[in-house]
Amino acid sequence: MTQARDILTKLEARRKGLGMSCKALAERSNLTARTVQGVLRGRRSANLSTVLAISQALGAQIGLVRESKLSAVKRRQAKAKAHQLAAMTQGSAALEAQAVDDDAIKHAERQIETDLLSGPAIRLWA
């Protein structure tokens, strides 16, 4: 949530920098002053359309600044899931006094990651 808080902090700083009251911002964004104050101070959750209305009224834009390639996102997810699955397997094996060494776990993680990336994408997110 820190990114959301950062956006709201920047919007509040912009409002103050413009010398705009919350009431004026509310009128410009077609929101209530109470909503604007609550959102900008982090005391009220807001949906995306509310935050966009506030930003537009302040002459600011909110957008996707940096987008990871789809393959990079999938690889990170496959790596995380492979680690999780290997750790579960290692934990089960340890209970039975059959735990394997770290090299074998790393090899298993790489194999699981490869299998996840070569299979249906839905397996990554389930």
Q: Where are the domains of the chain?
A: 2-57, 70-125
Collect all residues with Cβ–Cβ distance below 8 Å to 20 and sequence separation of at least 6: 28, 58
> What pLDDT was estimated at residue 96?
60
- Alpha helices, DSSP H, located in the chain: 2-18, 22-29, 33-40, 48-57, 70-95, 102-118, 122-125
Name the residue type at position 8: L
Percent over 70 (pLDDT), the chain: 90
pLDDT band (50, 70, 90) for residue 16: very high
Q: Which of 39-48, 59-68, 79-88, 114-123 has the lowest mean pLDDT?
A: 59-68
pLDDT band (50, 70, 90) for residue 95: low
pLDDT digit string, tens, across residues 60-87: 988 876 767 888 888 889 899 888 888 8
Does position 59 have pLDDT exceeding 70, yes or no?
Answer: yes
Collect all residues with Cβ–Cβ distance below 8 Å to 106 and sequence separation of at least 6: none
**CB neighbourhood size of 71 (10 A):** 9
> CA-to-CA distance for 29 and 13, rounded, in angstroms?
17
Provide the whole-model pTM: 0.58
Read off the pLDDT of each residue in 20-41 and give the average, rounded to a whole number.
93
2-57 architecture in CATH?
Answer: Orthogonal Bundle (1.10)
19-56 CB burial, b ≥16 within 10 A, e <16:
ebebeebbebbebeeebbbbbbeeeeebeeebbbbbbe
pLDDT digit string, tens, across residues 96-113: 666 677 888 888 889 999
DSSP 66: -
